Chains A and B, each alone.
Chain A
């Protein structure tokens, strides 16, 4: 296990170096210059030159890359072009909002998706099975943009049950500690703030959860169906165990293995989906920030955020691999 972790960590460094090189290159391959975007219709060749020099974009690309890497190793991801803010500090400030959203969506997706999948498998070919799979299919095919706007229209505009966007009400008093609103409000024993944060989280979390939920439900269903046909399930039934116990203790535990992989892989979907969700729901997270930065050709932000997302993705994959051993003792993590 120890050797395995060391080996994985070494690979991680290589992966991140590769990612940084790719991102650094790709941002610069996108046509268009940050200086031009900053100056807009008012850009003149002279003003563009001056701004480029100020941003250090007149240096050779390899030199810019080496500066970037050297600084990144010290935890400094540079300064944003448009607002001159330290990127590392801003990532730390904005990422909690995305984490909260992705976490909320993950909870919705797993806690609805897995039971839905189990029930569909157990009641195979029933009305329930058909309906839940239709819902799942719709979930996968529905654009987040459209779904988000429909949710706002129904729950915020028509029913007035939930707010249409943002993390908190415009007039809310909130002193961030970790920038995770729900956690902070609990730490501050402010239940009203917690409730408010939760109300704001529901719609975006549901919108973001639909695709992962659908995938998890379908995966759980097919995995359960496979397991339910296994000999040991038949044996368990033959032993006279209660159906409930057969399903939950014997079948589910084995069926969950592929589901965990899928759940782990959803992180990628959640982070990319967060970009759209954050735009529709005015959620002040990292996804929307990234989109704005791409349009503004704000290289340091694009590089920093992408690198951070890559780190998280790789780390989560590692966690998933370790989780395997806990769910299935037959799996050994050998170097």
Chain B
């Protein structure tokens, strides 16, 4: 028996030693792999889901491989820039999409009248050379670039602009109708311009002459230019639109610096440089751009370390610090455009007392959460708008973290013994804090953040039970007003304050509270925001949005937790990558140099 056990023990030891050796063959510490099992249990439902999330820490610098070539020829500069995306693009027809992965590819292939400048959300000329606005803000006249051609040879002119706007906003347009019948939605057009046909803010778009286009609006729209700069309002070749119809998704034809070559599902999208690109000063620097779909965060980082991709998005917070100090990589932080918050459901009776809300605001130690759980890319948030937006109010002082003050506020509100039960729609329910089951830019690890908040709240006498459910159900139940207290956030679409503040706090046309902001009923705020949305003067608008932030702060309508600057990792030889706050940058400036 003794010898048999020994026989088993020795090979086991050797095998373990081999494994350890394999992992340690790099000169530094072995990578630490953590397996986190997140149990997602929805109470009262029969489904129990277990999601296994794997996290790998590549703190171990990998062996630096020096390829010694016999001929010692100088290394060739790579032909292609390969970007590692987190998932699959949905569709490459800008009119019908909302997802950023498609958006990033679309940004390289198509162009609109204006685009976002470098790392800001300021609209600058693209296919429009210049523009003028009438005094009442209802007429916009754009002068177009001359001699621009789509990738299929079709001329870009005022007529092409008119045809694209007709495709997006006219439900009787045959291509529009075909898309709707195929189950697509023109979601962003509806959201940004108020609807279709007569409901749209855009009354008509006319070609004055081949290089002049005139927009007539039904009412002035503050964020008009910012809306036009979004990746969805870019122009497809009218010839191609007619030819491909609903298959434009797979056949994008624009005027951009790169043109579409092929899309291999679940693998990659390949683009080639547009040799005839009109803007010679901004001509593409690479022959080819490849966007590869690598769903697993760790595998994507390993692909960068192996030199198979040149850049990536989507990193575990714990990997960020390691990348920062590794000379083989560059770490870029995207200017923040995203805010994570804790939302009150105003159908909960207790949350209608400002003292209770203030107790929440003062009980949570935001700074500790940001420092510990954002991998160094987070910022403490005190407003709904991130600091990069021009409606941000620099003069607001955040509620101080003060557990004692929070306790006292609760006592004043009649909860001297703490708060662990609330009244939702007249029914007593346990106070649940819902955290999202998925990582989003504003909350990279919602469970950890939720747990930290719950611990802070408990110190002040607020006892929450943490709950989650799968993402679809989460959003569904939140829209139905079933979650008393929940974590969620927002990432800006068009860089305009309206898109943050009005989206949540403008009430419906008939002044009803909306479900998406937890049924906040504040007409004063809503009126101010609606006024700001129809004002054109930027200075005036700035003042109004700053005032709205002051109101949000004073009334503590929500608790804003953090802004995040989503990290991007690049190979050390990648230059000219300028991350844009909107999350979809232009690749024409990107260059991959020969490896050192």
Contact = CB atoms under 8 A, between A and B. Distances in A.
A138 B293 CA distance: 31
A217 to B, nearest CB: 14
Interface string A37-79: 1011111110110110011000000000000000000000001
Contacts of A156: 302-303, 306, 308
A31 B515 CA distance: 20
A131 B8 CA distance: 7
B384 to A, nearest CB: 14
Contacts of B464: none
Contacts of A24: none
B472 A134 contact: no
A288 B476 contact: no
A145 B295 CA distance: 13
A170 B290 contact: yes
Given A45-B479, A81-B183, A284-B265, A164 B471 contact: no
Contacts of A189: none
A188 interface: no
B296 A292 contact: no
B63 interface: yes
Contacts of A284: 264-267, 293
B57 to A, nearest CB: 11
B56 A149 contact: yes
Given A51-B185, A130-B8, A37 B266 contact: no
A81 B488 CA distance: 25
Interface string B20-42: 00110110000101010000001
B488 A135 contact: no
B191 interface: yes
A165 B249 contact: no
Nearest to B12: A134
Interface stretch (A105-113, A226-234, A275-283): A275-283
B33 A82 contact: no
Which of B10, B11, B82, B293 has the most CB atoms of chain A within a 10 A radius of its CB? B11
Contacts of A83: 90-91, 249
A4 interface: no
Which one of A150, A153, A166 has the greatest number of beta carbons of chain B within 10 Å?
Answer: A153
B186 to A, nearest CB: 11
B292 to A, nearest CB: 6
Given A44-B479, A150-B22, A32 B292 contact: no
B15 A55 contact: no
Interface in B394-451: none
Nearest to A282: B294
A146 B23 CA distance: 12
Interface in A161-220: 163-167, 170-171
Interface in A208-263: none
B305 interface: yes
Contacts of A134: 8, 11-12, 15
Interface in A262-317: 279-282, 284-285, 288-289, 292, 295, 297
Given A51-B185, A84-B184, A153-B31, A292 B293 contact: no
Contact of B87 (A30, A90, A158, A292): A292
B270 to A, nearest CB: 8
B187 interface: yes
B348 interface: no
A121 interface: no
B371 interface: no
B475 interface: yes
B77 interface: no
A81 to B, nearest CB: 7
28 contacts: A31-B473, A37-B471, A40-B475, A41-B475, A45-B479, A45-B480, A55-B183, A82-B90, A84-B183, A84-B184, A127-B10, A131-B15, A135-B15, A143-B35, A146-B33, A149-B56, A152-B299, A153-B31, A153-B302, A158-B26, A158-B65, A171-B79, A171-B288, A279-B295, A279-B296, A282-B296, A284-B266, A284-B293
Interface of A: 29-34, 36-37, 39-45, 47-48, 50-51, 54-55, 79, 81-84, 90, 93-94, 125-127, 130-131, 133-135, 138, 143, 145-146, 148-150, 152-154, 156-158, 160, 163-167, 170-171, 279-282, 284-285, 288-289, 292, 295, 297
Given A31-B45, A55-B183, A171-B288, 17 more contacts: A31-B472, A36-B475, A42-B187, A45-B479, A47-B187, A135-B15, A145-B52, A146-B54, A149-B54, A158-B25, A164-B303, A166-B292, A171-B80, A279-B295, A279-B299, A284-B267, A288-B266
